[in-house]
Structure 1
């Protein structure tokens, strides 16, 4: 059954490697942090007050306790991510990882631009697509998979399956994610 889930997720999302061991999206996110970066590393992530997610660096969450977190937000007037401001912030912070994905950001993320920003500072790009995975699977939202080294989702939110989490990653990270 596990291999069937892996094969179907690979086919559905077009990813190189899949791990379906997490019991939740939070566990999937934790697996990515622990596989990709070290405690004390810097992460640049969307502020919860601007639509981000609790597991993306909030002080009450493990990610906010183990990593040096800097938040980015949305432009006050457009209520969208200002990619030029994010680029400057990434250059200043020099994060090991940039995260995107949100619990309350009702806009389409510019995944190619986010990858460009991450690459420009040598950061890993991690996308949590739990809230849009069903739209991605149905072809109604751009997929982050071609752009991010790591992508997570839940199986029970917009995919409407049983409770669980999925980690997708580039093949070069397979061993790290599978041993986390």
Structure 2
């Protein structure tokens, strides 16, 4: 059952106001006050839960990014070695010309710009292409944009490939 918490909150608030307004005895007023206290307690509990879920999502995202960065690095290093291209440097969480890059690998002839997303969207692809263009200028080398993720939808993968982005699924 899906519950719209905002709607539930509004319904409870109206019910409490009405109960308080119509309470004719101390006992009914006490019940209405208890209902209000329970509603406030529940609201505060959901707010606290929301913060904890947010912290959990953030931690899980960081762990996923670190893990997938390692996988991409291993796969990309093997590809470059097979082509005979040496690696000049590898940077995690790089910052280039105002852009944050999850993984940046500078090869002898190209620079590889890797964006890691658990569930990427089209706008992530567009942002990655912009990053790769800026980094190509900054390094004065062609850039290859790479999207790595776990839950990459077929439509997003098709869009990425259409924009010239390589896709690594894990």
TM-score tier after normalising by the smaller chain length: 0.3 to 0.5
Which protein is richer in helix relative to its size?
A: 2
State the structure with bigger RCO (CA 8 A, min sep 6), 1 or 2.
Answer: 1
- TM-score of the aligned structures, taking structure 1 as reference length: 0.33
- TM-score of the aligned structures, taking structure 2 as reference length: 0.34
Structure exhibiting the larger radius of gyration computed from Cα positions: 2
